[in-house]
Amino acid sequence: MRYFRLVPFFSLFVLFSCLDEKDYSIDSLTVNPSIAIPLIHGDLSIKDLIKDTDSVYVKVYPDDLVYLAYTETLATQDIKDLFTIPDKTLNQSLPIPAGTIPAHPKDIRTDSLVEVIDFNLSPEQLSEIAFKAGTITYSATLLPASSGLLFEVNLVSTDLTSKTTGKAFNVTTSNTGSVQLSDYIVKLNKNKFNLKLVLVLKQSSTSKVITPNTSVAVNFRMAGMDFSYIKGFFGDQTANPPATTLEIGAFGSSLTKANLSIAQPIVNLTVINDYGVPLKGTFIKLEARKSGSVLPFQINPASPVTIAAPTLLGNSATTNVSVTNAKDLLDFGPTEFYYQLSARINQGVTSGNNFLADTSKLKVKLEVEVPLYGHASAIQLADTIKLDVGDIDESQIENASLKVNVNNELPLDAKIQFYLTDDKFQVIDSLLAVSQTSLVKGSSVTSGGDLQSMGIVQEEIPLDNAKINKLFLAKNIIVKAQMNTSKDLTGQFPDVKFKSAYKMNVNLGLKANLKFNVKL
Q: Which of 91-105, 238-252, 262-276, 462-476 has the lowest mean pLDDT?
A: 238-252
Which pLDDT does position 251 carry in this prediction?
55
Query: Which of 142, 143, 188, 138 lies closest to 161 in space, CA to CA?
Result: 188
Determine if the pTM surpasses 0.75: no
Mean local confidence (pLDDT), 3-16 = 29
Is the peptide bond preceding residue 296 cis, with omega within 30 degrees of 0?
Answer: no
Please report, to the nearest 10 degrees, the dihedral formed by the alpha carbons of residues 31, 32, 33, 37 taken in order: 140
Contacts of 14 (CB under 8 A, 6+ apart): none
Over residues 304-352, the pLDDT tens digits come to 999 999 999 999 999 999 999 999 998 888 888 999 999 999 999 999 9
Share of the chain above pLDDT 70, in %: 87
**Which ranges constitute the DSSP H helices of 124-183?**
none
Over residues 128-167, the pLDDT tens digits come to 999 999 999 999 999 988 777 899 999 999 999 999 999 9
Confidence band, pLDDT 50/70/90 cuts, at residue 20: very low
Confidence band, pLDDT 50/70/90 cuts, at residue 506: confident
Over residues 163-189, the pLDDT tens digits come to 999 999 999 999 999 999 999 999 999
SS3 11: helix
